[in-house]
Amino acid sequence: MGPLVLLRHGESVANACDMFAGWLDVPLTERGRTEARDAAQSLAALCPDAVHTSVLGRAVETARLLIEEAGWELSPRAHWRLNERHYGALQGLVKNQARARFGAENVQWWRRGVDGRPPWAGDAVLAAQRADPRYLGIPEAAGIAAESLADVAERMTPYWLDVLAPELAAGRSMVVVSHGNALRALMHLCTGKPLGETAPSELGTAIPLIIQAAALQTQIPVP
């Protein structure tokens, strides 16, 4: 199996103001763009066979900057299954606002627990999501209103088993540019570690995490 590089997107506007972004589209800050270019310098010698990303703008932009700066001759492959966790009613709230509204213990459980699912997004959010061209014709994606980390792992499992794992098994190397919770779920799927172990992982923006072939597995792990 080839190596797998996991890369959280560069700092976004939401990161800078400590806001829950989830499936909202927020741009990178200038610092985030610099972080993406710096990551490219550390990965330039890798020459991956593919770069996968979510459909959210902050990850797509990070992947584009990474590829351009590293000089790789490929295009990123975007898929909604690599999106960040849908934070439901928390999306758009600064974390202190969320704690004041829902309670600090609840917010912490939703952030770092395995099964904690935030309150669902409102009708207006779902209506906009269903009208988004990225999710048209994909009812499974358009109807997601809030997710736990376990939900994210379940949502990502088909992409791991049908796309990423076969390519790795064929000896190809890959970079996945995604989001904190999505990468925690992917760490669970690709190494077999329980979600309870990967959930507390702190993943810095645009800091590559290289998982060597010996640590990868292709069976669905027990949550």
Q: Where are the domains of the chain?
A: 4-215
Side by side, the strands of the sheet bearing 50-53 are 77-78, 50-53, 174-178, 4-8, 209-211
188 is catalytic: no
- 11, 35, 61, 84: which is the annotated catalytic residue? 84
- Mean pLDDT (the chain, rounded): 93
pLDDT for the residue 178: 98
Q: What is the pLDDT of residues 71-114, one digit of tens each?
A: 999 999 999 999 999 999 999 999 999 999 999 999 999 999 99
- pTM beyond 0.75: the answer is yes
Pick the CATH number of 4-215 from 1.10.10.10, 3.40.50.1240, 3.40.50.2000, 3.30.1490.20: 3.40.50.1240
> Coil, helix or strand for 112?
helix
pLDDT for the residue 103: 97
Q: Which residue has the tokens 């779902």?
A: 126
Residue 154, φ and ψ in degrees, nearest 5: -65, -40
pLDDT for the residue 220: 57
Block means of pLDDT (10 residues each) for the chain, length 223 residues?
91 98 97 98 93 98 97 96 98 97 96 94 92 93 96 97 92 96 95 91 93 71 57
84 is catalytic: yes
Among the listed residues 90, 74, 67, the one whose alpha carbon sits nearest the alpha carbon of residue 19: 90
User: Burial, 221: exposed, middle or buried (Cβ in 10 Å; 0-12, 13-18, 19+)?
Assistant: middle
- 9, 52, 86, 179: which is the annotated catalytic residue? 9
59: CB partners within 8 A, 6+ apart: 9, 53, 78, 82, 177, 178, 179
The span from the CA of 59 to the CA of 75, in Å, is 13
Query: Is 32:11 a contact under the CB 8 Å cutoff?
Result: yes
